[in-house]
Structure 1
Amino acid sequence: MSQITAPAPVFSTVPAAAGMPVLGVLPRFARDPLNFLLDAALRYGPVVRLDLASRSTYLVSHPEGVKHVLQDNNRNYRKGYDQAKPLMGEGLVTSEGEFWRSQRRLIQPSFSRQNLSEYAKVMVSATLDRLPHWEALASQRQPVNFGEEMMRLTQTIIVRTMFSDDVGDQADALGKAFDQTLEHLNQVLFSPHPIFEKLPTPANRRHEQALRFLDEFIYRLIEKRRQSGVDNGDLLSRLLLARDPETGEGMPDRQIRDELMTIFLAGHETTANALAWTFYLLARHPLVEFRLLDEIQQVVGNRPPSVEDLPAMSYGAMVFSEALRLYPPAWMFARHAIEEDVIQGYPIPAGTMIFLSPYVTHHHPDYWENPEAFDPERFSEAQSAQRPRYAYYPFGGGPRQCIGNHFAQMEAQLLMTIILQHFRVELVDGIKVKPTPIATLQPRPGVFVYLEKRQ
């Protein structure tokens, strides 16, 4: 099926944000991307042209425009993450067209409700394992970089989810290698020129060494699992057993490697940052924390939570959704128009890059009353029903919506519950936290807290 036929444009041109000769709006965008993009949407409307030096890009911020790109005419817009292919290969994030559709069919069952229930046990177990470490920090009243703690925890969870117990004594080395590739990905996505990725710098050499280690580890484990034929119940086993429902074919080793790298790189840092922002907001809003604690006590009490508890914990889901609205980890992503199109009456030339920014749409006063306020009640059933679908899209949308969105939301709620059962989180005074857009929206210099053990 091809993309839909574009209607005739209502407007002859797209309004352009005022910029400098030659450089256009690039200096303002580079200096403060979040406020610049939000200001451009507020000032110029739902579709605005941004001249970034020699390249014109179109920011689409209205929910109907976002829906058009991600859902209604999604086949006319490719992702174009070519810079990430040396790391992710032809994984779900980077692949396109019929190959992507085939891969999505193969991988979707790995994130079924039954498999998510198994992954939930890993999440709970890994979090309980960290409690003694956090209790020691609490007893010493040491400032804790909460974001770093969440990075370590979510890394442990994703590695155990992918490989179960086959990591052995290489867990630390594996974690460091994954961190190195993640750091490189952040640099690559914002590199001014691809040549900088090829220079023999110390950082590039560390990345190449880490990537070799990961490739050798993953391929060795794939071979071991294929020979044994044992189903370990982890993501690697799910991918090895996956068969295309239309062709009956499985995945070759290279494709399994690409998908494992993609799952780690796309899903580990995002959840950690989202949790850091969530606890930052809870620490600043004690009444919200009190209500959330009351729900936890009513549903779970003092026992560890399970995935079966989550349907009864609607307020926890609302809290996390509101944190994702204010601080969406995927603060912006791009699409490339294959053929010319019309978005909300504005002509879009073929080959154009489109910016979609959840941050901008989530903070736009046309779609959210008092958008800078933290108010979980926005995500009650009644209020959610009154909003356009794409006024809120932290996980993207349409056929290419993040395949791990239910995994991430389940992980966040389980971890939030366990942490709040055991600790009160108090912000360290005098540290101003600023949302800093890199590959993900990070709290800088960090969410520093004191942990206080609950009695």
Structure 2
Amino acid sequence: MHAHAAPPSSAPASSASIRTGRYTPSLLEVARIMRREGLLGLLMQSWRSGGDLAYVRVGFAKPLFLVTHPEHVRHISVTHRQNYEKLASYDSVRDLLMGQGIVGVNGEDWRRQRKLMAPFFTPRAVEKFHAIFVADSQRLSERWLGLQGRGQPVDMFDEMMQVTASIILHALFSTETDETLQHIREAVESNVAFTSGRQMELLPIPLWVPTPGNRRFQRTRRNVDRYIRGVVERRRALPQEQWPEDLLTRMLTARDEETGGTMADQLVVDNGVSLFVAGHETTARTLGFLWYALSQHPEVEARMHAELDAVPGDAPPTLDDLRKLPYTLRVIKEVMRLYPPVTMYPRDAVADDELAGMHIPAGARVMLFAYGTHRHPDYWEDPERFDPDRWLPEREAARDPHAYHPFASGHRICLGNNFSLLETHVVAVMLARRFKVRLKPGHQARIDTLGMLRVSNGLPMFIEPR
């Protein structure tokens, strides 16, 4: 299900031409679509049937408003942002995964944390992690060289998960050993999967019921908490001049300008988990879909390789080198357009609102559907075509900024967007200079979503030296 038909469009983008409607399919229709096209297919059908602002109700599930049009993204994220918060939609994320970390909190708590942490992630600040991006990419490159001649494909998403987990744990905690890294990565990914699964259940089993899944979740959550607390305690036991220059040190030493206080240890733990989850899996999925896109578009791959080969020398790319590789960055942006790692993200209406003539009641869940926005035919010519030159500076500047929101938009745009873009650029450059990747012959990737975009039948790929 790589390609989907977009809703028809006969007029320029304007409030008058925005289609709104209802989509209330029978459970039989839902089952048929889910079996054939998965949840992503159901969302695309909701857009086709209900329009750019669709009231969607399926069976006994809570109804939601599916938001696809850039004007509505702007309304919710910018002009009326005070009326759309992360309320009930994020309860399970807060309760099970990220606690009171920056991703899930609202209001004054969010404002204070954002003010404390935003300086860590400016374009200039994330350049300090360039050496980590290079070192972990080099380790993966050397491992790939060792796979030559074995004739076995690797699952590309798993490969990218390994490198991005290593990068974020080194950036966060200066983690030393592969064993520790693997242990924490598996525990956090298990907790993310558990939380995502509960969000999809109509009647989730209470956590106090000792099912195998509940017991495993409680155990892995304790292990992650214990690990981060241990890192914090060991850090505090050292003289401060010996603290490494990582994100943990920045969190421990940042002071609130108004109160002079520092972040409490539990909040450090919660934000450690938040940054790992937000900064690991999303980037891994972008990189996985990058290799998939290159394997499907040899003309793009050839042009990208030509740009990489024009930068002389075999040394790891410097920051100056990266600036000489704009086409590679355009490829990455186009990957995030067609394959946004976060397919959709929810907000909750604080008070009644009206949008395109449709009443949005207080407490309603609105789902901003980035995957659909990135295919809106009023904003993207031939939207299913993979075209990195959409991101030439003059074309990007002329486009509505809310037609593209892979990192969300407005004041709650992802804190780590600069970190992720630089990391993706470095990893892509270092690996693409040395390797080509090929999808296993005959494999048809079934692209679907569980909130995060994925390939439900895996992404087996062969690694070939260039």
Please indicate, yes or no, whether the TM-score normalized by the shorter chain is above 0.5: yes
Does the alignment pair 1:215 with 2:220?
Answer: no
Q: 1:345-384: CA deviations, max 9, x gaps?
A: 3321111111111011112222211111111111111222
Q: 1:186 aligns with which of 177, 182, 196?
A: 196
User: What is aligned with 2:408?
Assistant: 396
| Distance change in 2, residues 1:338/1:202 (3 Å) | same
| Distance change in 2, residues 1:198/1:430 (3 Å) | farther
User: What is aligned with 2:153?
Assistant: 143
| Distance change in 2, residues 1:195/1:369 (3 Å) | same
Give the secondary structure class of the aligned counterpart of 2:267: helix
User: What is aligned with 1:224?
Assistant: 234
User: What is aligned with 1:69?
Assistant: 76
Distance in 2 between the 1:363 and 1:88 partners?
31
Q: In the TM superposition, what is the alpha-carbon distance from 1:336 to its structure 2 partner?
A: 0.7
Distance in 2 between the 1:30 and 1:97 partners?
37
- The total of aligned residue pairs comes to 443
Give the secondary structure class of the aligned counterpart of 1:249: coil
Within 5 Å, give how 1:25-40 maps onto structure 2: 27=31, 32-40=38-46
Q: In the TM superposition, what is the alpha-carbon distance from 1:143 to its structure 2 partner?
A: 1.1
Within 5 Å, give how 1:234-273 maps onto structure 2: 234-273=246-285
Give the secondary structure class of the aligned counterpart of 1:328: coil
Q: TM-score, normalised by structure 1?
A: 0.91
Distance in 2 between the 1:171 and 1:35 partners?
35
5+ residue gaps, structure 1:
1-8
User: What is aligned with 1:452?
Assistant: 464
Distance in 2 between the 1:451 and 1:10 partners?
50
Does the alignment pair 1:41 with 2:47?
Answer: yes
Q: Residue 16 of structure 1 aligns to which amino acid in structure 2? A: R
Distance in 2 between the 1:271 and 1:169 partners?
22
User: What is aligned with 1:6?
Assistant: none
Q: Residue 41 of structure 1 aligns to which amino acid in structure 2? A: W
Are the equivalent residues in 1 in contact too, given 2:70–2:400 (CA < 8 A)? Answer: yes
Q: Quick check: 88-97 or 171-180, which moved more?
A: 171-180
Q: 2:439 aligns with which of 427, 433, 447?
A: 427
User: What is aligned with 1:3?
Assistant: none
Are the equivalent residues in 2 in contact too, given 1:16–1:50 (CA < 8 A)? Answer: yes
Are the equivalent residues in 2 in contact too, given 1:143–1:428 (CA < 8 A)? Answer: yes
Q: In the TM superposition, what is the alpha-carbon distance from 1:172 to its structure 2 partner?
A: 3.0
Q: 1:123 aligns with which of 133, 140, 160?
A: 133
Q: Residue 92 of structure 2 aligns to which amino acid in structure 1? A: Q
Q: 1:138-179: CA deviations, max 9, x gaps?
A: 232321111111111111111111111456853332233223
Percentage of identical aligned residues: 34
Does the alignment pair 1:202 with 2:202?
Answer: no
Are the equivalent residues in 2 in contact too, given 1:10–1:345 (CA < 8 A)? Answer: no
Q: Residue 145 of structure 2 aligns to which amino acid in structure 1? A: E
Distance in 2 between the 1:261 and 1:352 partners?
28
Q: Residue 363 of structure 1 aligns to which amino acid in structure 2? A: R
| Distance change in 2, residues 1:155/1:356 (3 Å) | same
Distance in 2 between the 1:56 and 1:201 partners?
29
| Distance change in 2, residues 1:56/1:210 (3 Å) | closer
Q: In the TM superposition, what is the alpha-carbon distance from 1:219 to its structure 2 partner?
A: 0.9
Q: Residue 450 of structure 2 aligns to which amino acid in structure 1? A: I
Q: TM-score, normalised by structure 2?
A: 0.89
Q: In the TM superposition, what is the alpha-carbon distance from 1:196 to its structure 2 partner?
A: 5.1
Are the equivalent residues in 2 in contact too, given 1:42–1:364 (CA < 8 A)? Answer: no
Give the secondary structure class of the aligned counterpart of 2:383: coil
Are the equivalent residues in 2 in contact too, given 1:143–1:449 (CA < 8 A)? Answer: yes
Are the equivalent residues in 1 in contact too, given 2:72–2:355 (CA < 8 A)? Answer: yes
| Distance change in 2, residues 1:30/1:253 (3 Å) | farther
User: What is aligned with 2:115?
Assistant: 105
User: What is aligned with 2:3?
Assistant: none
Within 5 Å, give how 1:264-343 maps onto structure 2: 264-299=276-311, 301-343=313-355
User: What is aligned with 1:19?
Assistant: 25
Q: Quick check: 205-214 or 388-397, which moved more?
A: 205-214
Q: 1:316-352: CA deviations, max 9, x gaps?
A: 1110111111111100111110111122333211111
Q: Residue 75 of structure 2 aligns to which amino acid in structure 1? A: H
Distance in 2 between the 1:300 and 1:399 partners?
40
User: What is aligned with 2:8?
Assistant: none
Q: 1:82 aligns with which of 73, 91, 116?
A: 91
Give the secondary structure class of the aligned counterpart of 1:16: strand
Give the secondary structure class of the aligned counterpart of 1:450: strand
Give the secondary structure class of the aligned counterpart of 2:447: strand
User: What is aligned with 1:51?
Assistant: 57
Q: Quick check: 325-334 or 301-310, which moved more?
A: 301-310
Distance in 1 between the 2:448 and 2:209 partners?
27
Q: 2:454 aligns with which of 424, 442, 450?
A: 442
| Distance change in 2, residues 1:29/1:219 (3 Å) | farther
Give the secondary structure class of the aligned counterpart of 2:458: coil
Distance in 1 between the 2:188 and 2:39 partners?
27
Distance in 2 between the 1:346 and 1:300 partners?
57
| Distance change in 2, residues 1:72/1:384 (3 Å) | same
Give the secondary structure class of the aligned counterpart of 1:52: coil
Distance in 1 between the 2:69 and 2:141 partners?
43
Q: 1:66-125: CA deviations, max 9, x gaps?
A: 110011111111123110122210111111111111111111112133431221211110
User: What is aligned with 2:10?
Assistant: none
Distance in 1 between the 2:177 and 2:429 partners?
27
User: What is aligned with 2:9?
Assistant: none
Distance in 2 between the 1:332 and 1:148 partners?
22
Distance in 1 between the 2:173 and 2:273 partners?
12
Q: In the TM superposition, what is the alpha-carbon distance from 1:264 to its structure 2 partner?
A: 1.0
Q: Quick check: 298-307 or 157-166, which moved more?
A: 298-307
Distance in 1 between the 2:306 and 2:459 partners?
24
Q: 1:379-403: CA deviations, max 9, x gaps?
A: 1112222321111110000010000
5+ residue gaps, structure 2:
1-14
User: What is aligned with 2:384?
Assistant: 372
User: What is aligned with 1:407?
Assistant: 419
Give the secondary structure class of the aligned counterpart of 1:15: strand
| Distance change in 2, residues 1:249/1:386 (3 Å) | same
Does the alignment pair 1:363 with 2:382?
Answer: no
